[in-house]
Amino acid sequence: MSGNLNNKGRNNLLPIARDVIKHAKAGTMRQAKDVMRLPASNYTDNNRFAAELEKVIKRVPIILGPSCEIPNPGDFKTINVAETSLILSRDKSGKANALINVCSHRGACLTKKEKGNSNRFTCPYHGWNFSNSGELIAISSEDDFGKIDKNNYGLKSLPVYESAGLIWAIINPESKVDIPSFLSGYDKMLETFSFSDWIFVSKRTFKGPNWKIAYDGYLEYYHVPVLHRETFGVDATNRGLYYSWGPHQHIKSPAVEKGHIATETLGYLAELIDKSEDEWDLETLTYGVWTVFPTTSIASFDAGGRGVLISQILPGKKVDESITTQYYIMEKPPSDPEAAEEQFDFFQQVVMNEDYATGASSQPGLKEGIIDHVLFGRNEQGNQHFHLWVEKVLNAKNDEDLNSIFLNGAL
Ligand code: FES
Ligand SMILES: [Fe+2]
């Protein structure tokens, strides 16, 4: 990664760091204008859930994984998004492809492998053969089968965008959504990490409650010293400062404690307070939570080396189910791989036993209408921003409408 880019990234992060330190020193934070009220049925209604799948999840770009999960030509993985099985592959030119895992002959699932390396996919039903960029290469017993134009029978291919070491796709082959407009410059901020040079270390997948209930927990720090008192400690911050690029957000903490257990994850910049700006290091400047609308959250950690946990929270089959995949990627291989895995287990347990168990506990009360709306405080700005954007995207009439909403940016 060129020094130029890192300098540029550093320059982008400096104004944020100055703002964080200003608030840390003054003991202040920015607040949203008002307390927000959101109907409880937004989390429980089946029709609403179906609309979110069609108009949000299948309409905006979704991160399918980090580039370093499929670093080499021929590498592929399969992934399910909104009941659609996809193959994410890297072809011989190095380009990432997102292909729908459905054979064009009679619809069989092409591969059930979770990952592998292959330039071709052969359908297990009648043996049709596809390239890893989706072209139909060979029809078995072609003379017997009869003539069709192979060019019209490749695998359905989704719009893909690879930037900042992350791979986005839109779950609609016909989408007209402009991915750079959607990203609103946010990928330029994420480029500061140089994820494209990092390595894939580990991955875990597990169930959670409604996808937005699960995602809400990644959007505020208010709960941290209470819900995570046993793990992050009672003295962890409950304040967050929010910075946004279109629907995407970065959260840092205006805290003054140094060397706190939550330093990397919550984005404490206290170590920089007494240093001159030219001594502010790029790594510390990137600390905190980076949420990529609508399903991804990226948070730093240290596990015998610098790393990030990329959490991808996808809706499950039903309104009250989600599937989370945690991708652990690191700048270099961990110094002690076993200890690193133990730390990843710990992060997974925190999310499952504290965040998701508590999220699940709120579902019956919301479903039964015991409370008819939920509240997001002026200190829960990240959630307010997220839910306003979900509403905006849901209400967009078509892809053109969405593009103009993203181009216009701010709410
Ligand atoms: S369904 Fe794939 S070859 Fe027949
Ligand atoms: Fe949490």
- CB of 200 closer than 6 A to ligand 1? no
Measured in Å, residue 104 CA sits from the centre of ligand 1 at: 7
CA dihedral 85, 89, 91, 93 (to 10 degrees): 120
Measured in Å, residue 217 CA sits from the centre of ligand 2 at: 5
Q: What is the reported pLDDT for 371?
A: 96
Ligand positioned closest to the Cα atom of 102 = 1
The residue whose CA is least distant from atom 1 of ligand 1 is 106
Q: What is the reported pLDDT for 3?
A: 55
Q: Which two tokens stand for residue 347?
A: 């992060």
- CB of 367 closer than 6 A to ligand 1? no
- CB of 123 closer than 6 A to ligand 1? yes
Model pTM score: 0.96
Q: What is the reported pLDDT for 287?
A: 97
Residues 6 or more apart whose CB falls under 8 angstroms from that of 166 comprise: 63, 65, 66, 67, 187, 190, 195, 292, 310
Work out which ligand 1 atom sits closest to the CA atom of 128.
3
Give the Cα separation of 215 and 62 in Å (integer).
14
Give the Cα separation of 130 and 100 in Å (integer).
12
In order along the chain (411 residues), what is the average pLDDT of each group of 10 residues? 67 96 96 98 98 98 98 98 96 98 98 98 98 98 97 98 98 97 96 97 98 98 97 94 97 93 93 95 96 98 95 98 98 96 97 98 96 97 98 97 89 57
Give the Cα separation of 89 and 115 in Å (integer).
9
- Is 118 within 8 Å of 132 (Cβ atoms)? yes
Sketch out the chain's domains with CATH numbers.
3-59+185-398 (3.90.380.10), 62-176 (2.102.10.10)
The residue whose CA is least distant from atom 4 of ligand 1 is 126
Q: Which residues are in the CB-under-5-Å shell of ion ligand 2?
A: 217, 355
Ligand positioned closest to the Cα atom of 122 = 1
Q: What is the reported pLDDT for 219?
A: 98
Measured in Å, residue 146 CA sits from the centre of ligand 1 at: 15
Measured in Å, residue 131 CA sits from the centre of ligand 1 at: 15
Q: What is the reported pLDDT for 5?
A: 64
Measured in Å, residue 232 CA sits from the centre of ligand 2 at: 9
Q: What is the reported pLDDT for 1?
A: 45
Measured in Å, residue 58 CA sits from the centre of ligand 1 at: 26
